[in-house]
Structure 1
Amino acid sequence: MFMNNFNHWLLPVKNRISGLLSGRERVVVALDGRSAAGKSTAASLLARELDGEIIHMDDFFLPAEL
């Protein structure tokens, strides 16, 4: 069932990112959603499939002066 979900939801995203990477060194992808929606899981799967890096923003806060 898990791979069916990957194929249904993430394979089109992976294919789109792969297309954007054509001729480029990197592409920045941002995932947003509710708590426990699967953002980290999706990011991990996509990073593994595309040999990408993940920058978690959970604990990143800009200072008020910025």
Structure 2
Amino acid sequence: MPKTFYQFLMTQRNPESYDPVATFANNAFLDSAFPKQETEFDELSKYLEENASYLPSMTVFDDAWRLYQDFLA
């Protein structure tokens, strides 16, 4: 079974990094409502747009999603 987006994102965590994807991962880790089992772009995007005030731009999610897709390929 492939990793969920959240599982992949957690591999990007790095509290010492200023990389936007790492910062996103660090903050998603602290978000207890993050949809951890979700694998669909649209559902994740909707959640983040409505609930993730810690995400400065949806471009960061888009970049993380591309990394996730490359990981799954």
Alignment TM-score, normalising by the size of structure 2: 0.31
Specify which structure has the higher proportion of helix: 2
**Which structure has the higher relative contact order (CA within 8 Å, separation 6+)?**
2
